[in-house]
């Protein structure tokens, strides 16, 4: 780049440094990503640049290899390319650096290939929490169409990053962690569902072998996009510059999906990267801070919710629902959500989707009565929609079959008896906006449960014949943005047959996610633990259901269900009209405890212990000043261990003392023992027991032996504060 300073660029924020080398004739390279250590990375930037040239290998290029910000074959990179383009044929761009802009926390590199007539701007921004956002802007500078095949964001990793952790799953059993060693070759996860899916990787984490929640050095990436995705870890024998492997990914584009006319640009979704030397909890802390800084992040306390689905399903008897609303208000519910079944022809899941008008057979006077009753009881009123889908048995599908997103000669295969609407067509989006917006205004709706119950297979526009998952995702974002602009204060939940659309693209315009369609507390303990790797608890819907779970038919105790649902945006999914007085009283106490503690539960630091016994789990929320905390100790299944070893409560301050109390509001724990450890017996008393932070956080204490499917809730507070 003639005339430009080739000095290294160093971004520093949140205890993290990212250093770019610009000294060679190659494109810029990331030569360091990790701990900032004060100004050391800045002071050593020149030396990092000096030492960024690897050896020249035998039987190899005659010059040292580089791994640049847009790795291609030009630099001798034989792995997956950063950028792939096509005009009449596949292009291997030969990019040159033409401009650089940078500040303390952001840098943008402008690259051009004159022969290929393309310009690429690669942007990096390091936020105050140490999360690095990377995106690519590709502009067609030629006079013929340019197809974007891939626009990946990739960062290099050191050799000690030798183990991969990501997630998989299925409906009602999302967020299953899986580990594999880093090997030569590529670990390439592709999402071709038009949404992230129940098997979404969520985060790809690469770290030092055996890393856990509280230990190990880890590097991670997240694709902040709600459509097709790809996730990459790759290692070649020749490495990546002076480093070993690469991490990243971005939107997965289908052939012909993004074709740029002359002068047009494509901006990739952001890929987010985070580093920590404090294990997975360190990553969570960074991502939670990043999400809590979103302009859309709720600024008011998260209301206790009752959702009607598992209470009434499609049986919308308005008198029964009014009774349910009164019961909900009596136990402390603050938001009442009317789920599926209220709109035209919707008596089952085979009909009605797309006809967003109130069914007068079910609700002769409309929804005005229940909305007024709910608001009169002091609760917010929410309503379920599935705007992106349609049943063939609907007025909409009969009048506008061309609105279905599918190849011309077919509707494609049904999924839950439904098909996809082409939101990228303005007439479709306008219809949905007008329908939803008018209902929000007419019935003073405070909250939308926005569902998305199928994958997008054969997502092809009938008008253009082009694949449309990309356009569908952008159109969904635009519709959400339009509704929120028209109705300030409206909140929206992202539900996708449970947890199939959980990502930081959708969470920039929604206010919570439904983590899973199962409320089974055994399943939920794991689902919420791993969803919380990325999403802070106040955005994760977590509901108490009846004793027999709808999805698994497992029976569980009320205290266990209450403890599990507490650690999220809490709610109820239960027909309260069939609850006993004892159950209603238990729900009321739990609701009051939730409301009195949500300032901590929804703003503190999430911590999880690394226990040696997989049958047990210990997790909690610690206030930022570490003066208070709430922990749950959980037995998921029977354990072969006959006693409890000393167990450390992570995140507490060893220099403090704490009053430790077993909270009675959620019911008595189910114990598998003759007697409890002495300290625990005192913690169960009204004033609890005072213990040192050092003992709790460093030496640990023995815990009681629990029966499987049970939990205890412990609160830690200032011993000089109110009891």
pLDDT at site 93: 86
pLDDT average per 10 residues of sequence, the chain (723 residues): 71 96 89 91 87 87 89 92 90 90 94 94 98 98 96 98 98 98 98 98 98 98 98 96 95 96 98 98 98 97 98 95 98 98 97 98 95 98 98 97 90 94 97 98 98 96 88 98 98 98 98 98 98 98 97 97 98 98 97 98 98 95 98 94 89 98 90 92 95 98 96 96 72
| CA dihedral of 277, 281, 287, 293, whole degrees rounded to 10 | -110
Q: Which residue, 262, 260, 280, 283, is CA-closest to 272?
A: 283
Q: Which residues contact 357 (CB under 8 A, 6 or more apart)?
A: 343, 344, 435
CA 84 to each of CA 36, 90, 122, 248: distance values in angstroms, whole numbers, following the listed order = 33, 8, 14, 15
pLDDT at site 24: 79
Q: Which residues contact 25 (CB under 8 A, 6 or more apart)?
A: none
Q: Which residues contact 307 (CB under 8 A, 6 or more apart)?
A: 337, 339, 382, 449, 543, 571, 572, 573
DSSP one-letter string for 378-421: T-EEEEEE-TTEE-SBSHHHHH-GGGB-S-TT-----BTTBEEB
Q: Which residues contact 480 (CB under 8 A, 6 or more apart)?
A: 450, 492, 509, 510
pLDDT at site 410: 82
Is 451 a catalytic site residue? yes
* Angle of the 318-331 helix axis to the 581-601 helix axis, nearest 10: 60
pLDDT at site 231: 98
Phi-psi category of residue 332: left, alpha or beta, with phi > 0 → left and psi -120 to 50 → alpha: left
Please identify which residue in the block is written with the tokens 């136990």: 331
Answer for the pair 314, 353: CB distance below 8 angstroms, yes or no. no
pTM of the model: 0.97
Gap between the Cα atoms of 583 and 576, Å rounded = 9
Is 481 a catalytic site residue? no
pLDDT at site 269: 98
Gap between the Cα atoms of 588 and 682, Å rounded = 26
Strand bridging mode 29-35 / 569-572: unpaired
b (16+ CB within 10 A) / e for 342-351: bbbbbeebbb
CA 283 to each of CA 17, 142, 216, 221: distance values in angstroms, whole numbers, following the listed order = 15, 42, 11, 10
Q: Which of 451, 503, 575, 653 is catalytic?
A: 451
Q: Which residues contact 559 (CB under 8 A, 6 or more apart)?
A: 586, 666, 667, 668, 669, 670, 710, 711
Please identify which residue in the block is written with the tokens 């990212």: 18
Q: Which of 455, 517, 520, 575 is catalytic?
A: 517
pLDDT at site 3: 46
């Amino acid at each position: 780049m003639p005339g430009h300073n080739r000095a290294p660029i160093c971004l520093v924020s949140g205890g993290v440094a990212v250093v770019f080398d610009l000294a060679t004739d190659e494109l810029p390279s990331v030569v360091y990503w990790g701990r900032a250590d004060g100004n050391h990375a800045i002071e050593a930037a020149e030396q990092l640049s000096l030492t960024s040239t690897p050896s020249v290998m035998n039987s190899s290029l005659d010059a040292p290899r580089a791994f640049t910000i847009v790795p291609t074959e030009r630099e001798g990179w034989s792995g997956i390319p950063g950028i792939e383009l096509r005009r009449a044929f596949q292009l291997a761009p030969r990019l040159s650096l033409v401009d650089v802009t940078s500040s303390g926390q952001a840098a943008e590199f402008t690259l051009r290939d004159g022969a290929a007539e393309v310009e690429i701007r690669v942007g990096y921004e390091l936020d105050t929490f140490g999360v690095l956002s990377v995106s690519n802007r590709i502009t067609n500078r030629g006079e013929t169409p340019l197809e974007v095949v891939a626009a990946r964001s990739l960062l290099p990793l050191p050799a000690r990053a030798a183990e991969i952790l990501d997630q998989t799953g299925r409906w009602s059993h999302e967020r299953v962690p899986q580990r594999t060693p880093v090997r030569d070759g590529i670990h390439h996860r592709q999402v071709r569902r038009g949404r992230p899916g129940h098997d979404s990787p969520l985060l790809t984490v690469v770290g030092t072998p055996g890393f856990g929640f509280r230990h190990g050095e880890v590097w991670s990436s997240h694709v902040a996009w709600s459509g097709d995705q790809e996730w990459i870890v790759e290692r070649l024998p020749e490495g990546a510059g002076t480093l070993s492997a690469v991490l990243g990914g971005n939107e997965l584009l289908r052939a012909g999906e993004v074709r740029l006319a002359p002068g047009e640009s494509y901006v990739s979704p952001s890929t987010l990267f985070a580093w920590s030397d404090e294990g997975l909890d360190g990553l969570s802390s960074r991502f939670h801070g990043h999400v809590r800084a979103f302009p859309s992040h709720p600024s008011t306390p998260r209301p206790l919710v009752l959702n009607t689905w598992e209470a009434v399903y499609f049986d919308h008897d308005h008198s029964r629902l009014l009774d349910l609303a009164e019961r909900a208000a009596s136990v402390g519910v603050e938001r009442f959500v009317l789920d599926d079944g209220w709109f035209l022809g919707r008596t089952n899941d085979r009909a009605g989707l797309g006809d967003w008008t109130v069914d007068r057979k079910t609700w002769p006077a409309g929804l005005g009565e229940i909305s007024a009753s709910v608001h009169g009881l002091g609760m917010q009123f929410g309503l379920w929609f599935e705007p992106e889908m349609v049943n063939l048995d609907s007025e909409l599908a009969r009048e506008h079959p061309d609105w279905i997103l599918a190849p011309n000669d077919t509707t494609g295969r049904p999924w839950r008896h439904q098909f996809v609407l082409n939101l990228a067509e303005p007439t479709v989006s306008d219809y949905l906006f007008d329908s939803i917006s008018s209902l929000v205004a007419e019935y003073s709706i405070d909250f939308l449960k926005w569902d998305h119950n199928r994958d997008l297979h054969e997502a092809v526009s009938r008008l253009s014949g082009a694949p449309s998952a990309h356009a569908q995702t952008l159109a969904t974002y635009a519709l959400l943005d339009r509704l929120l602009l028209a109705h300030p204060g409206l909140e929206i939940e992202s539900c996708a047959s449970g947890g199939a659309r959980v990502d930081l693209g959708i969470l920039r315009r929604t206010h919570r996610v439904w983590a899973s369609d199962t409320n089974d507390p055994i399943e939920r303990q794991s689902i919420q633990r791993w969803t919380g790797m990325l999403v802070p608890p106040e955005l994760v819907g977590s509901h108490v259901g009846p004793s027999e779970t709808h999805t698994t038919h497992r029976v569980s105790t009320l205290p266990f269900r209450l403890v599990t649902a507490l650690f999220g945006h809490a709610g109820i999914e239960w027909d309260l009209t069939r609850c006993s007085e004892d159950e209603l009283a238990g729900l009321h106490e739990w609701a009051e405890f939730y409301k009195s503690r949500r300032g901590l539960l929804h703003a503190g630091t999430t911590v999880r212990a690394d226990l040696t016994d997989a049958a047990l789990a210990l997790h909690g929320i610690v206030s930022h000043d570490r003066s208070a905390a709430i922990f749950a100790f959980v037995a998921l299944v029977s354990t072969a261990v006959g006693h409890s070893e000393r167990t450390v409560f992570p995140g507490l301050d060893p220099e403090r003392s704490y009053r430790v109390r077993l909270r009675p509001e959620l019911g008595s724990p189910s114990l598998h023992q003759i007697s409890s450890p002495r300290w625990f017996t005192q913690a169960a008393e009204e004033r609890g027991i005072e213990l040192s932070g050092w003992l709790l956080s460093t030496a640990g204490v023995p815990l009681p032996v629990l029966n499987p499917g049970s939990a205890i809730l412990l609160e830690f507070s200032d011993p000089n504060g109110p009891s």
